[in-house]
Structure formats: structure tokens, C-alpha cells
């Protein structure tokens, strides 16, 4: 009886993991397709962010921010990193924030 409960528990964990992985894969695919609704392209968003900050872009992506889709562009100027949110419809900068510690750097250099 105890062995059966153990197998059922293991089966439950495996099933939950499989369902979670499938949902994550579908979400990533939908995120990539969301850019179809943007009126400007990534290049325009990068240019807008660079001009606004007066620096050079080091990274850009299309992502959800506070329930809205935005271009998130990381711009470097004078040894500072600024996260710039660009509206995908108007192409205007809608928010900026200095990035004190770039968490992505730790992951990027782990290889």
C-alpha cells in the first residue's frame, strides 16, 4: 500500500512537470508572436532609446511590462546602464530607469 502511494506521488510530480513545461513553451511562442501587433520595429525602438539616453544599446527585447507590450532596450552611457521602455505603437519612450546592477550579466558570463 505504501509503495503504491509513493508511485502515485511520483506520477503526480512528473505529470505536473510535463504540464508546466508545455505551458511555458506555449507562452514563449505566444510572446514571440505578440510583436505582430507592434506598429514600429525593433530597430526603430533601439534608435528611439539610444537618442533619448544619448548612448548605445546593448540589448533589446519585446516583452510584457505592467500588462502592456513594450520594447525594453538597455542603453549604456557613461558607464551607466539605463532600461528604456518604448511604446510599440507610437515609438515614443514611455519610461526609463537606471539599472544599478544588471542581473543578466551574471547569467551571460556563466559559460
> Which residue shows C-alpha cell 518604448?
86
Residue 16 and residue 58 in one domain: no
pLDDT digits (tens, 9 = 90+) for 32-69: 788 888 999 999 999 999 999 999 999 999 999 888 99
pLDDT at 10: 47
pLDDT digits (tens, 9 = 90+) for 90-104: 999 999 999 876 555
Q: Is the pLDDT of residue 14 over 50?
A: no
| Three-state secondary structure call for residue 70 | strand
| Three-state secondary structure call for residue 15 | helix
Residue 53 and residue 12 in one domain: no
What mean pLDDT is reported for the chain? Answer: 77
Closest CA to 80 of 93, 98, 107: 98
Note whether 49 and 86 are within 8 A (CB). Answer: yes
Residue 103 and residue 52 in one domain: yes
Q: Which residues pair with 25 in a beta bridge?
A: none
**How does 46-84 read in b/e, with b if 16+ C-beta sit within 10 Å?**
bbbbbebbebebeebebeeeeeebbbbbbbbeeeebbbb
Q: How confident is the model at residue 109 (pLDDT cuts 50, 70, 90)?
A: very low
* Domain extent at residue 21: 1-37
pLDDT at 98: 92
**What share of the chain in percent tops pLDDT 70?**
62
Residue 5 and residue 48 in one domain: no
CATH number, domain of 96, equals 3.10.450.40
pLDDT at 32: 77
Amino acid at each position: 500500500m505504501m509503495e503504491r502511494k509513493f508511485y502515485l506521488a511520483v506520477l503526480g510530480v512528473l505529470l505536473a512537470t510535463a504540464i508546466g513545461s508545455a505551458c511555458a513553451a506555449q507562452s514563449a511562442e505566444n510572446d514571440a508572436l505578440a510583436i505582430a501587433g507592434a506598429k514600429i520595429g525593433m530597430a526603430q525602438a533601439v534608435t528611439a532609446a539610444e537618442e533619448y539616453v544619448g548612448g548605445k544599446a546593448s540589448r533589446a527585447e519585446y516583452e510584457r511590462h505592467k500588462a502592456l507590450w513594450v520594447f525594453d532596450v538597455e542603453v549604456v552611457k557613461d558607464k551607466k546602464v539605463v532600461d528604456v521602455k518604448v511604446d510599440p505603437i507610437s515609438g515614443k519612450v514611455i519610461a526609463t530607469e537606471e539599472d544599478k546592477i544588471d542581473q543578466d550579466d551574471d547569467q551571460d558570463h556563466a559559460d
